[in-house]
């Protein structure tokens, strides 16, 4: 997308108020140390990433946008402000998130599920944002989700997603608490051995945990799709924690 067009979108977005309505069970807000200040900064960081990806990618326009793993709207409220006339789709496994985001920010609900091969996503999406979802999946489920999302993009459509990479590995490796060291030992060992690691949050729930992914593994997921090209990769790009990768459906 032309940089001047993105600049105009960004300027208008920064001049509009962002909806500050909160769901009472918004975990991300309730865990924010400095309340709205921290919460809002993470949402704004996502928009900076998205704007950068759009400049790097081949999109001419963005009208159909999905927030996959929308939660209770930490980024969704910013997407609505950035694309005030856009057709928004909100997807999450938690129905309270779907109801809140679709009603509060004006969009359609798309229920998620544990079996990503069974996802029923809208077609011809111009932009998909995936914040802190791949970060909780093992590699096999990463691939399944990526394939489903990539298949929902239209020509020139853009997918932007976050991952935990080398920065988080170093941070966890330097942990001094012996209990934490033991908790994440398997995850760190896997990452050191092969550049990819996963550990469930508890032993009897295998579908949700914490993952670490090297740049090579993240890039490799996209290279399995001949119609996609990598448009950017930024280490520690989202809220000074997550790596961010962007792909677009190439016209050539």
Tracing tokens 């093992």 back to the chain, one arrives at 138
pLDDT of residue 196: 97
Q: Which residues contact 141 (CB under 8 A, 6 or more apart)?
A: 116, 207
pLDDT at 204 over 70: no
Instruction: Report the CATH number of the 3-249 domain.
Output: 3.40.50.150
pLDDT digits (tens, 9 = 90+) for 27-75: 999 999 999 999 999 999 999 999 999 999 999 999 999 999 999 999 9
User: Is the confidence at residue 203, as pLDDT, over 80?
Assistant: no
The pLDDT, as a whole number, for residue 60 is 93
Alpha-carbon dihedral sign for residues 53, 57, 61, 66: negative
**Whether the predicted model's global pTM rises above the 0.85 cut:** yes
| Digit-coded pLDDT (tens) for 151-172 | 999 999 999 999 999 999 999 9
The structural domains of the chain, with segments of one domain joined by +, span 3-249
State the DSSP code for 118.
Answer: G
Mean pLDDT of 220-249: 97
């Amino acid at each position: 997308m032309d940089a001047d067009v993105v600049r105009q979108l960004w300027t208008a977005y920064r001049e509009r108020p962002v909806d500050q309505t909160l769901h009472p069970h918004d975990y991300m807000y309730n865990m924010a140390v400095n309340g709205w200040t921290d919460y809002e900064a993470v949402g704004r960081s996502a928009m900076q990433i998205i704007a950068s990806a759009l400049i790097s990618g081949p999109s001419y326009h963005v009208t159909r946008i999905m927030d996959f793993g929308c939660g209770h709207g930490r980024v969704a409220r910013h997407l609505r402000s950035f694309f005030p006339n856009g057709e928004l789709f909100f997807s999450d496994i938690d129905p309270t998130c779907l109801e809140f985001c679709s009603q509060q920010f004006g969009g359609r609900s798309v229920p998620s599920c544990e079996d990503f091969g069974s996802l029923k996503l809208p077609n011809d999406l111009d932009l998909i944002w995936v914040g802190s979802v791949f970060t909780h999946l093992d590699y096999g489920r990463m691939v399944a989700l990526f394939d489903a999302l990539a298949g929902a993009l239209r020509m020139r459509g853009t997918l932007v997603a976050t991952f935990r990479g080398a920065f988080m590995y170093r941070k966890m490796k330097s942990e001094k608490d012996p209990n934490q060291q033991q908790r994440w030992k398997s995850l760190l060992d896997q990452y050191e051995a092969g550049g990819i690691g996963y550990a469930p949050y508890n032993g009897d729930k295998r579908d949700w945990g914490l993952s670490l992914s090297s740049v090579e593994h993240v890039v490799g997921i996209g290279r399995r799709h001949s119609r996609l090209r990598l448009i950017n990769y930024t280490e520690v790009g989202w809220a000074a924690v997550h790596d961010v990768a962007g792909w677009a459906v190439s016209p050539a």
